[in-house]
Amino acid sequence: MEPAYRRIAAAYRDKISSGELAPGERLPTEHEIGEQFGVVRQTVRTGLGVLVTEGLIVARRPHGYFVREWERLIYRPQEKSRPMPARATMDRFSQQISDEGRVPSMSIDIALVQATPDLAERLRVEPGATVVIRRRVRFINGEPVNINDSHFPLDLVKDSEIVSPSYIPRGTDQVLADLGHKQERAVDEIFVRMPTPDEIRRLGLGPGTPVAVHYDTGYTADDRPVACTVNVLPGDRHRIVFERRWRENEPLS
């Protein structure tokens, strides 16, 4: 026989997936569920805890448990490799959001840090070498939606406006291009994992919310990596989209 806590989890998972419990709707209290299934409160908690870590429900003390709602922003990595409009006053993300009638905002801070192994490999610097990190958190209507940490080798950007913690309307790619490091090619890598406590704090994530981590490494024409941006996208707030066309004539690698 299946353990009681799993029967409870399965029962409410079904109610949610069948639509009997709609997003935003409230579940019975732990006490009530306990009576119904004939178990003590702790067992109910274990069962509902499963659904919390699955991201299906959230607990709001002292109101109860509620079915979670997911609203996703479209995220297009390919947009990054289009030229910016000449007279842009904000970046693509902010433009899109304000076109939708919502209020974009951003926090920026700059630091010099030692490259972690994953960054050192992508930027082709020594592990522990100093890199400039430009940390941004994007908000919509005051709610954090994603993290964008751009990393640059220190010697490339040390005298440019990239190291000043202010907004750069034309974008850091353009600044790099003006410095003679025009990007021609980029490699995108996407990892899926659970967030770190730091990411949970910065993004205000609830339990059961995985993240996609998008590494965007930009290369110049002579194949030198000049920037690596780490985007942390909460799973409940994003949908990553890109397009492909068939390439008939290309040789197989």
Residue ranges that bind a second copy, judged by CB under 8 A: 10, 13, 53-55, 72, 77-78, 80-83, 85, 183-194, 197, 207-208, 210-212, 233, 235-236, 238-248, 250, 252
The dihedral through the CA atoms of 61, 102, 234, 24 has a sign that is positive
Shortest separation between residue 231's beta carbon and DNA, angstroms: 30
Q: Which residues pair with 56 in a beta bridge?
A: none
Q: Which is nearer to DNA, 7 or 239 (CB)?
A: 7
Shortest separation between residue 209's beta carbon and a second copy, angstroms: 9
Residue at 219: amino acid letter = Y
Q: Which is nearer to DNA, 57 or 73 (CB)?
A: 57
Query: Helix or strand or coil: residue 145?
Result: strand
Place of tokens 């002579």: 222
Q: Which residues pair with 79 in a beta bridge?
A: none
The Cα 184–Cα 173 span in angstroms is: 11
Place of tokens 């290309």: 250
Query: Helix or strand or coil: residue 186?
Result: strand
Q: Which is nearer to a second copy, 62 or 85 (CB)?
A: 85
Under 8 Å between Cβ of 165 and 110:
yes
For 132, the enclosing helix (H) or strand (E) is strand 130-140
Q: Which is nearer to a second copy, 9 or 125 (CB)?
A: 9
Shortest separation between residue 64's beta carbon and DNA, angstroms: 3
The answer to whether 5 contacts DNA (rule: CB under 7 A) is yes
Dihedral of CA atoms 188, 193, 194, 199 in degrees, nearest 10, equals -20
Shortest separation between residue 113's beta carbon and DNA, angstroms: 32
The answer to whether 91 contacts DNA (rule: CB under 7 A) is no
- Give the range of 29-37, 85-93, 137-145, 221-229 binding DNA by CB under 7 A: 29-37
The answer to whether 46 contacts DNA (rule: CB under 7 A) is yes
Q: What residue ranges bind DNA (CB under 7 A)?
A: 3-6, 27, 29-31, 38-43, 45-46, 59-65
